[in-house]
Amino acid sequence: MNATKRAGLVGVTGYTGMELTRLLAGHEGIELVRATSRSEAGKPLSAIYPFLQGTKLAGLTITQPDIADLRENCDIVFLAVPHATAMDMAGQLLDAGARVVDLSADFRLRDPAVYQTWYKHEHSRTDILPQAVYGLVELYREDVRKARLVANPGCYPTSSILALYPALAEGLVETDDIVIDAKSGATGAGRKASLGSLFCEVSDTFRAYNLGKHRHTPEIEQEVSRIVGQDILLSFNTHLLPINRGILSTIYTRLKKPVDLAAVRAAYEKHYAGEAWVRLLPAGALPETRFVRGTMFCDIGLVTDPRTGRLIILSAIDNLCRGASGQALANANLMLGLPENMGLNLAPMVP
């Protein structure tokens, strides 16, 4: 391995930025040399994140984002800024020759018209859109290695695509009767001061939101459609859990023909045999968000229901680590020629 690689992080104040600092504080191959924030520039990182005191990141001073500076000093730049903003900044960084992992949604959708429909914003960098690689390593590992721009997958799509992939690839289930009932911890709502995200508005309650219109819908549809080679429309629906981290997706599909659980499990084992981060649970076991807390694991459980002819697929991930910043780091590892799992061999924190 060569010398330590240098990373920049644009947008350090959100939960995905925070999670990247947590992971980079323990990464031995990548050094965070720039952390930017328009509102917090000038402060040491440990002033906004006291938990970083005593780690190797404690001394880093937050700076204003500066394309030239990032280009010059960083081998890779993580963008943890809102969509639309990311688009322009990624473009400038790529124009300047930098390599970028974009955690926003701006380069995930291959069709800019779909982007505009769902995000209500015209895509300003359709010129570089074709370069973007969708950074789900189980599907696009080799492309990521060569990428200059990685579109880091959304949290819900990571959970849903990994869960559906073998069932669709093996043709086990109907493609016109897929319902995803997804539940996410509150970090998914971001780190903005808003009434609806207050402790007393989220604690001790449970609610659905954005039913039938969540922006992750076209991202999931794009990728599952590619798996089967035909356009799939599915029903994707989201709920807010009173926990910090974790997504559990319960996915309802209809089996094309009756198969037993062993056969379904065999399909999943075949597709994920070499994948260290996808854990197919033993028959009868179901995933829980705590068992993946703080890690890259995606736990998958399978249930066949002969009464109704359905296959129910469950998957659990940590939305911040596997669903955002950890996944971004895995992509960066690959882009930089480091071992994919470097800094990411984390045991789940239970309880």
Report the catalytic residues.
155
Neighbouring residues of 138: CB distance < 8 A, sequence distance ≥ 6: 162, 165, 272, 275, 277, 278
Site for a copy of itself in 214-273 (CB under 8 A): 233-235, 237, 239, 241-246, 248, 250, 252
Least Å distance, CB 132 to a copy of itself, is 25
| Residue 297 engages a copy of itself in binding (rule: CB under 8 A) | yes
DSSP-derived 3-state class of residue 63: strand
Site for a copy of itself in 156-185 (CB under 8 A): 177, 179, 181, 183
Least Å distance, CB 69 to a copy of itself, is 26
Neighbours of 199 (CB within 10 A): 9
Residue with tokens 């449970």: 206
Using CB under 8 A as the binding criterion, the count of chain residues that bind a copy of itself stands at 84
Dihedral of alpha carbons 35, 36, 37, 43, sign: positive
| Residue 55 engages a copy of itself in binding (rule: CB under 8 A) | yes
Least Å distance, CB 335 to a copy of itself, is 23
Please give the full DSSP string across 237-275, using - where no structure is assigned. Answer: EEEE-SSSS-EEEEEEEEBSS---HHHHHHHHHHHHTT-
| Residue 281 engages a copy of itself in binding (rule: CB under 8 A) | yes
| Residue 201 engages a copy of itself in binding (rule: CB under 8 A) | yes
Please give the full DSSP string across 13-43, using - where no structure is assigned. Answer: SSHHHHHHHHHHTT-SSEEEEEEE-TTTTTS
Nearer to a copy of itself, 96 or 198 (CB): 198
| Residue 43 engages a copy of itself in binding (rule: CB under 8 A) | no
Which range of residues in 80-88, 101-109, 141-149, 197-205 is near a copy of itself by CB under 8 A?
Answer: 197-205
Least Å distance, CB 305 to a copy of itself, is 4
Query: Cα(33)–Cα(13) distance, rounded to whole angstroms?
Result: 16
If you ran DSSP here, which 8-state letter would residue 73 be given? H
Nearer to a copy of itself, 71 or 245 (CB): 245
Site for a copy of itself in 320-339 (CB under 8 A): none
Site for a copy of itself in 110-139 (CB under 8 A): none
